[in-house]
Structure formats: C-alpha cells, structure tokens
Chains A and B, each alone.
Chain A
C-alpha cells in the first residue's frame, strides 16, 4: 500500500525557516517524481515544487522560487522541502504527492506563519 506521511509543520515567525519531510513507503520511491502542493485555509490547491526521480531536475512556483528548496534522499525514501524567508501567505497545509499525475497524496502538514 502506497503511503506518504508528511511531518515538520508547525508555528514559525515571519522570516523564519522550516523543513518539511515526506516519508514514502509501499512503492519504489527512487522511480517516481515527487511534488509539494499547498492549500491555504479555506482556499484552493496551489502547486509549490517538484523534483524528478533522481533529483536531477527541480521545478518551483514563482511564489516560492529562491526561498524554498526541494530535495530527496532516495536511500531514506524521503522527500524534503526546505522553506526560508517565510511569509504570512505561506501559511497552509502542505501535501506531498507522487508522480506527475499526483496519484497519491499524504495527509498534509500544517505550516503556520505568525508572530
């Protein structure tokens, strides 16, 4: 059974940093591209970032480019999102999802940006 479990969310002050993790199981992690998608409270889905299966290619939404870094450790079956210079508008539930079709999603982790 495919499982994606996000962690690392929490309360952070504006300008602060946070690292999210997504632990994958039930499939060959190193064979799949992975993504981060976020959803602000009461709002729709917003694409954040993607990384190819071997980590060689990364993609970012303009809203996070230069502030967020996506990475993966295929030996640990884990996806990461390093978030910096956090702003109030980054507050959201962050989901990780598998493959370009976003065929499986985690349950999400909440990031709150507030002083």
Chain B
C-alpha cells in the first residue's frame, strides 16, 4: 500500500489531454514539493516535473504539474504514442523522513 494514491491506469487517444492524480496528506504533499517521474518500459525512471510544476530541460511543455492542498496532478496534452509509460508521483514525508511514492499509473495511448 503506497503512501501516495494514484489511479492504477489511465488512457487516451493521440492528441488528447489526460490527467493523472496523486493524493497524499498534510505530512507529504501538503507541506512539501511534488515530483513526477516517467518510466518507459524496460528503462530507469526519469524526472518529469520537479517542485510541483517545473520542467527539467528537455521535457516538452506538453507535460505540466499542479498542486492544491494535499493533492497534485500531472497533465499531458497533445498525447503521443511515445508517452505510453508508467508515471509516479513522489514527495518527502515529514513524519516518515523519507521520500514516498505513489503506486504508479500506467498510461496507455489507444
């Protein structure tokens, strides 16, 4: 059971906009930055969004992050086949003193 809660799956057609949610608590999302990672099949995770809504260099602006209270979301617009991957949210947890992850969301591009 993950500390952060994500839907196990999401899907969309090319060109669509999809959103993945991430729910936590006051000790993690509520008081710390949220991060999103993309894991393509057979590869290591890659940082996609940092500090709630910042994109590392090289990440397309089709990817955006937001946070409100104890929840966060990742939005992907103009969906492309290469976006098919697992997406994880993460945040530092003040009570556990570790980074906590969501269970991951498998995105399928139909």
Contacts and interface: CB of A to CB of B under 8 A. Distances in A.
Interface stretch (B17-25, B68-76, B96-104): B96-104
B92 A45 contact: no
Contacts of A106: 44
Contacts of B46: 105
Interface stretch (A10-18, A21-29, A56-64, A81-89): A56-64
Contacts of A34: none
Interface of B: 2, 35, 37, 39, 44-47, 50-51, 56, 86, 88, 90, 92, 96-104
Contact of B96 (A37, A62, A100): A62
Given A95-B44, A95-B45, A101 B50 contact: yes
Given A102-B47, A103-B50, A47 B100 contact: yes
A44 B50 CA distance: 19
B88 A45 contact: yes
Given A45-B101, A50-B99, A105-B46, 12 more contacts: A37-B45, A44-B2, A44-B104, A45-B39, A45-B88, A47-B99, A47-B101, A59-B97, A61-B96, A101-B50, A102-B37, A103-B56
Contacts of A45: 37, 39, 45, 88, 90, 101, 104
B73 to A, nearest CB: 18
Interface in A16-55: 35, 37, 44-47, 50
